Amino acid sequence: MGSNTSIGVSVSWGVVSLSVSSGATSDRSSVGGIFVNVPGDGCHYIVKLRKNYTIYHRKLDYYHYEEYEFTIYRDEYNLDSIDVLLEKV
């Protein structure tokens, strides 16, 4: 499993089609991507992705028979949402 980013561009006279997808390769069918439709008005656009995460910082104390052994800290995150922003340059 790994990351995969692809950009596809098809051009014919006066018409431009651009799609951007981003995702992770996997053996499961639940992994998706992001597709952006760009207007064919001859202008330049920038596609921005805004990702909102929830980050958890956890402290774990380990005990063995009620005697303290050690402490570890663990950071975990959860992707809550992705917003696609299309800006004309």
Q: Which residues does 86 contact at the CB level (< 8 Å), separation at least 6? A: 36, 38, 45, 46, 47, 48
Q: Give the tens place of pLDDT for each residue, 6-31.
A: 555 554 445 555 555 555 455 555 55
* pLDDT tens per residue, range 43-88: 888 888 888 889 888 999 999 999 999 999 998 888 888 888 888 8
The whole model's pTM is what? 0.44
Residue 38 one-letter amino acid = V
Task: Residue 42: give the domain boundaries.
Answer: 2-88
How many separate domains does the chain show? Answer: 1
